Amino acid sequence: MYCDEIAQEKFSLKYPNKVPGDYDISEIQYTFDFISLVYKDDSTIEDAVREVCGKYDLSETDFHNYLIENKYILGNANADAFSEQLKKYNTKSLKKILKKNGLKTSGKRERIERRIIENGLLGGTYHLSSKSRVFYKNKKRRIAIFNEYLTNYYFREFNEFYMDNYRKKEANIPIEFINSHINKAVEDKNHRNYIVNNQLMFEHFFLKENYKEMLRYALRNYCMNLNPIWKIDELKNHGGLSTETYDQMLFLKEALGKNRVISTYYVIWDSFDFENIIVSKYDGYRCLKDILNLKDYNRIVDDLENRFYDNDDLKIKKITQKTLFDF
C-alpha cells in the first residue's frame, strides 16, 4: 500500500547517513539459508552452496571452507555418518534421487540407501552436522520475523535487538523494533524518517488486519505532515497531504467508520503536544472531513499550499487555547 521507492529503502539506527556496502550481509542469514535448503528443501550440499553464493555474492570456495571450518558440514567417512540425513527421506524420495542420477531404483530400502551412500548423492562427500540442525532451530524464529516484517531494516541491527528482546512475545518484537526507529527519528528531528517508519508500521498492521492500529499510525503521519515543524525552512511544494495518507483515510473510513476516524484524530493530535503549529487542530479537522467526504485530492493540497505552506506570514504560530479547542 505504499510506493516502491519506500518499499526498497532500508533504515539503520547505527548509520544515519552512508551505510557500508557489505552491511546488509550477515553470516546468520546466509548460513541459515544454506542449512534450510539442505535440511528442509532436500538440496544437495553443492546446489545449496551455489544458490546461497549467488544470492549473497559470495565466493563458493570461501563459503564451502567457512562451512567446513565452522563444522556446519562434515565429511562422510562411513555409512553411519549418513544415517540421520537419510531418515528425513521416504523411500519414494530416495528412488527419485537414484533415478535422477541414472541409477537403479529397485531393491529394498536398505539397498537403496547403500546405493545412494556409495555414489555420494546426498551432498557429495559432505553432510549436515548436528550443529547445523541446532543452528537452524535456534535461528528460525528471528529469521522468520525479519523476513516477514522487517526487510526495510538491516538484519545485523535487528539481530542485536532480538538478542536483547527474545524473551518477549513474538508479535511484539517487530513492533518494538520499528518503534525504535520512529523514536530515533523524533530524537533526530528527521521528518522524512519519521513519516516513512510510521508508514512501515502501518504496513505491519495491515498484514495483521489490525485496522485500529493502522489508523493510529496513518493519523500520526497525517498530523505531522500538516505540521512539518522539523522542516520549517523547506516548505516549498510541501503539500501537507500525501496520496498514501489520502487513500489510507478512505480505506479506514470503510473499515472503521467515519466517526471513528475523526474521534481518533483528536486523540492523535493532542498526543503530539505541539509547541508550535503551522496548521491548527481545527483546520486539520476540516481537511480530514474533506478527505472523508471525497473532496478531490489536488484541490485539498492546493488549498493547504495557498493558505499555509506558500504563505510566509503563516509559517509558524504559537499555540493558543482557540487553536487547540475551538471546534
Tens digit of pLDDT for each residue in 241-250?
A: 999 999 999 9
Other CB atoms within 10 Å distance of the CB of residue 2: 17
pTM of the model: 0.77
pLDDT, position 94 = 85
Q: How far is CA 243 from the centre of its chain?
A: 22
pLDDT(6) > 60: no
Other CB atoms within 10 Å distance of the CB of residue 291: 20
User: Which stretches of the chain are DSSP H helices?
Assistant: 4-8, 27-39, 45-56, 60-69, 83-87, 91-100, 109-118, 130-149, 155-165, 172-188, 191-207, 211-226, 243-256, 258-272, 281-292, 297-304, 321-325
pLDDT tier for residue 120 given thresholds of 50, 70 and 90: low
Beta-bridge partners for 75:
126
Q: How many residues does the chain have?
A: 327
Rounded to 5 degrees, what are φ and ψ at 292? -65, -25
Q: Which of 77-81, 115-119, 124-128, 129-133 has the highest mean pLDDT?
A: 129-133
Using DSSP's 3-state secondary structure scheme, residue 218 falls into helix
d(CA 97, CA 116): 8
| DSSP state, residue 230 | G
Other CB atoms within 10 Å distance of the CB of residue 3: 12
The 10s digit of each residue's pLDDT in 10-60 is: 999 999 888 987 788 889 999 999 999 988 887 888 899 999 999 999 999
d(CA 109, CA 89): 11
Q: What is the largest CA-CA distance in the chain?
A: 90
d(CA 201, CA 174): 9
pLDDT(3) > 70: no
Grid cell for residue 305: 499550499
Residues 6 or more apart in contact with residue 303 via CB below 8 angstroms: 287
Using CB atoms within 10 Å of the CB of residue 121, give its burial: 0 to 12 exposed, 13 to 18 middle, 19+ buried.
Answer: middle
The 10s digit of each residue's pLDDT in 266-310 is: 999 999 988 788 898 999 999 999 999 999 999 999 999 988 888
User: Rounded mean pLDDT of the chain?
Assistant: 87
